[in-house]
Structure 1
Amino acid sequence: MSEVSGAPAVLFENIATIAVADVAQTLSIPVSRVHQLVRDGQLLSLRRGGATEIPADFLDGSAIVKGLAGTITVLRDGGYHDEDILRWLFAEDDSLPGPPIAMLRSGRHREVKRRAQAMAF
């Protein structure tokens, strides 16, 4: 599973997370499918207190935020590790009106993906 288990806890302590079981319930899928989504790069997870959790901002109601999976794929293909992807998604960007995850949540996934492509090459 692609987990950010080696990442310093302080690095991601400001990211609100949801337990995998709660994500499964929200998406109306089995817990094993959530783990598969993480393995497939449609979601990223991190470890907190020994539990695997998903950033809350990755969900929009009962769905995964549009454009998230594509952005993760572009960055992974560009050689970025999951820790770096999480850091980038949640970091403030002076050239954007907020962090990339906020842009994805507001429907501006094409702009985020363009920036991810530029970083990856």
Structure 2
Amino acid sequence: MVDAHYWGPTRIRRAGKVSYVTTPNIDLDSLLADEELMPLPDVAEYLDVPVTKVHDLIGAHKLLVYRRDGVKYVPSLLLGEGGELSKFVGGAIMVLHDGGYGEDEILHYLFTPDESLPGRPVDALHGHGAREVIRRAQAMAF
């Protein structure tokens, strides 16, 4: 039986290899409509690093980008406080990425309300629920 709330990648086993097929119909535009989005130069300024370092953080799966009209943005909730990165957010992103989830799927998971937390995983990553979100991300990766 498939959970009605399942949204993750579908795993397909062929010749001993596991392939991932991304889930269609993720509407990030409406999900992130009310979020503060920062263009990459603003993220670099916030973190007090060159913009190339922001690209490195994205490539290392410690940050995610959301693309709108050809411009790359980072939702501000993915950043920590006081010009820092959030280690829990970066950890959750990396665990999900290593489990085969794409950027859009990870953003969808982090910003979709979850009644069992309660709230959204991205909010829990900034509070007492961070370890639970990471634990769930690890479980989803299997």
State TM-score, norm by structure 1.
0.86
Q: Which sections of structure 2, spanning at least 5 residues, go unmatched?
A: 1-25
The residue type paired with residue 78 of structure 2 is F
Q: Percent identity?
A: 41
What is the aligned counterpart of 1:45 among 65, 90, 94? 65
CA contact (8 A) 1:44 1:54 kept: yes
Alignment match, 2:86: 65
Q: Which sections of structure 1, spanning at least 5 residues, go unmatched?
A: 1-5
What is the aligned counterpart of 1:81 among 102, 110, 130? 102
Tell me the distance in 2 between the aligned counterparts of 1:76 and 1:56. Answer: 20
Q: For structure 1, which segment, 105-114 or 73-82, has the greater mean C-alpha deviation from structure 2 after superposition?
A: 105-114
Alignment match, 2:5: none
Tell me the distance in 2 between the aligned counterparts of 1:68 and 1:107. Answer: 13
SS at match of 1:64: coil
Give 1 or 2 for the bigger CA radius of gyration: 2
Once the two structures are superposed, residues 3-38 of structure 1 have per-residue CA deviations (whole angstroms, 9 ceiling, x without a partner) of: xxx976345333321111111011000001001100
What is the aligned counterpart of 2:119 among 98, 104, 108? 98
Tell me the distance in 1 between the aligned counterparts of 2:78 and 2:28. Answer: 20
Aligned length: 116
Q: 1:100 deviation in Å?
A: 0.5
CA RMSD of aligned residues (A): 1.8
Tell me the distance in 2 between the aligned counterparts of 1:7 and 1:21. Answer: 25
Q: Which has the higher contact order (CA 8 A, sep 6+)?
A: 1
CA contact (8 A) 2:117 2:129 kept: no
Q: Where do 4+ consecutive residues of structure 1 move more than 4 Å?
A: none
What is the aligned counterpart of 2:37 among 8, 12, 17? 17
State TM-score, norm by structure 2.
0.74
Q: Larger helix proportion, structure 1 or 2?
A: 1
